[in-house]
Structure 1
């Protein structure tokens, strides 16, 4: 398998890259980054890793990165650290459109996109912790949430030719106990999901989903049991 990973220097991108290389030891991992200096040393020096530098609006670089790819994982997302200063447009959602256009041009069907419970799903029910988290985030960073919601809409409406999965993640645990990083997949208010997930556990689940394909055209929330 040849995987293209976006957002590979972020808090979820790094564990995803490492988990992929552990599971698919003889396969190729393509990292699309703006600055290769931010790639951790162990990934940068791995012989199975290809690093391509480019912007998210650079169609030539996106096309180059997509060559020979079997699947795409996007750990891109707007950062809440900018809060009220985040731009009023939806730049990350626009980047998703360009990525999906490039995927279709190279006949790549499999897409796993990471997002948050700000993206709603018809299977969701009421969950006080997740609703509180969603409303708090929307109050503090409305433009960030606008972009996140737009990502979900773009994937669902423009990904009709793709085998997409939207993975919704809320807050991350510290992962201080490597033996206790299990996550479960479900929907808001189903009695299984909560507002906390493990980065390590989520990375394991997501990489396994590449082959399992149990959540095609679905939007599960991952959380600790």
Structure 2
């Protein structure tokens, strides 16, 4: 998990009023903040190591994924079902279209740039959302994010479908993203939905 968004989630989770019991599946534990091992269970492994990944899921009830590669996430989904883990939060972007959404010209133009500059990245984000949404037996939430920033974690987060009433901005701080996920783990307001979120 320790990409930048993953590290932000760990930091916010450990400061949460009632911190969740964290299991971190990582390739390189040395990249974790010092002292993380005191408050979290750490399992070292590659995403291709299904035995290690299955071990990491022992006793887990929720998976939070910030993986950028769809094939890697498909392995996670398979092992979730094998190990009886039902809840997953998966990162995607508004490039994944949800029926009923409408987009103004500013947001449409904003979405065109990634498609032109990093078409593979856009394709992976769409494939991730499609793979998760196809899992009828899992309680999934796809959180679709705009440009991620290092701004304050205390910024408010708006969630919903894109359209005239959507008030989220074109940016989202990684810390506030983490706090939104932690709150949604408690509220379960977006099960089997794919809200766009933004500050």
What is the TM-score normalised by the length of structure 1?
0.82
Partner residue, 1:70: 61
**Residue 73 of structure 1, CA deviation:** 0.4
Offset, 1:193? 2.5
Q: In the alignment, is the contact (CA less than 8 A) between 2:153 and 2:176 conserved in 1?
A: no
- 8 Å CA contact 1:69–1:108 kept in 2: the answer is yes
- For the residues of structure 1 that align with 2:149 and 2:34, how far apart are their CA atoms? 24
Residues 70, 124 of structure 2: 8 Å contact kept: yes
Q: Structure 1 residues 201 and 146 mapped into 2: Cα distance closer, same or farther (>3 Å)?
A: same
2:148 counterpart residue number = 172
Alignment equivalent of 2:76, drawn from 96, 99, 124? 99
The list of structure 1 runs, each at least 4 consecutive aligned residues, that deviate by more than 3 angstroms after superposition, is 24-27
Unaligned runs of 5+ in 2: none
Post-superposition Cα deviations, 1:57-108, rounded to whole Å, max 9, x if no partner, equal 111111010001011100111xxxxxxxxxxxxxx21111111111111111
Cα distance in 2 for residues equivalent to 1:66 and 1:148: 24
Question: 1:133 and 1:51 mapped to 2: Cα distance?
Answer: 38
Residue 56 (1) aligns with residue 47 (2): yes
Measured in 2, the distance between the counterparts of 1:25 and 1:135 equals 40
Mapped partners of 1:56, 1:48: distance in 2? 23
Where 2:12 maps in the other structure, the secondary structure is helix
Aligned residues: 198
Alignment of 1:78-97 (within 5 A): 92-97=69-74
- RMSD over aligned CA atoms reads 1.7
Q: Secondary structure at the match of 2:56?
A: helix
Which blocks of at least 5 consecutive residues in structure 1 are unaligned?
Answer: 1-6, 78-91
Q: Does 1:199 find its partner at 2:169?
A: no
* 2:25–2:44 contact (8 Å) kept in structure 1: yes
TM-score with structure 2 length normalisation?
0.92
State the distance in 2 between where 1:221 and 1:127 align. 14
- Decide whether the 8 Å contact of 1:183 with 1:222 is kept in 2: yes
